[in-house]
Amino acid sequence: MDEYLSEREKWERLLGWLKANGPGIAAGIAVGALGIGGWRWWQSHTDRVELAASARYDQVLQALNADSRGAALQLIDEMQRDEAGSPYVDQANLAAARSFVEANELDQAAQRLSEVMQRTRDPQLATIARQRLARVEIAMGKPDAALDTLGAPPAGAFASRYHEIRGDAYDAKGDEAAALDEYRAALLAAGPAIAENDVLNLKIDDLRAESGLSRPAAAASK
């Protein structure tokens, strides 16, 4: 029936509606404005944190390259205090772990890798840390711990590396048959592009020569 209302009546109805609903509309606009402002502040704050973490990460790498590991570790402590949650903290700890491995301080390397594995928000970084920790544990003479760390091999890009490290762990345990199975699974998971992986084939050939285990007919025919 609005088409039968006079302009004055329509105006009065509009004023009445605004009077009844105006405070709620104003509050909604205010809340929306605050939300947008808060989001922009958070984005700006996050960007500043990431820039600071990136700069410190570069300093960590420079310190490690200069054999100033003490300075690098101090920088990492500052990153963990000031930029906790940044992926650069995880990357810095991975770099520190590598320096400990190179210095044959395997306990320290394992600690750093374990921290990354448990605390990172990046699933790929967690997987990388898990693999490296397993390798360190094998080097420490703890192949069973390495197998526990690895767990079941995942599908996808990391499967081949998982199988290879599991093979290394079984080889360290003296379980040559299980090691051969894992190395062959690693070759299969690698796919045709790198199926002739020299390192894996060398490991397989060495184990076969040492153990006298024959290659399965199906594998030999490939």
Residue 42, pLDDT above cutoff 70:
no
Calculate what percentage of the chain has a pLDDT beyond 90.
41
Q: What is the span of the domain harbouring residue 95?
A: 55-142
**Residue 45, both tokens:** 């704050």
Q: CA–CA separation, 98 vs 109, rounded Å?
A: 7
Q: CA–CA separation, 88 vs 72, rounded Å?
A: 13
In a domain, 104, yes or no: yes
E-strand ranges in the chain read none
Residue 183, pLDDT above cutoff 90:
yes
pLDDT at 69: 87
pLDDT tens for each residue of 205-216: 888 887 666 554
Contacts of 45-49 with CB under 8 Å at 24 or more apart are 49/82, 49/83, 49/86
The single residue listed with the structure tokens 């390192």 is 199
Q: CA–CA separation, 129 vs 142, rounded Å?
A: 17
Report the CATH number that the domain containing residue 96 is assigned in CATH. Answer: 1.25.40
Query: Per the structure, how many domains does the chain have?
Result: 2
Residue 23, pLDDT above cutoff 60:
yes
pLDDT tens for each residue of 152-166: 888 788 999 999 999
Is the same domain home to 129 and 83?
Answer: yes
pLDDT at 210: 73
Question: Under 8 Å CB-to-CB from 69, ≥6 apart: which residues?
Answer: 63, 96, 99, 103
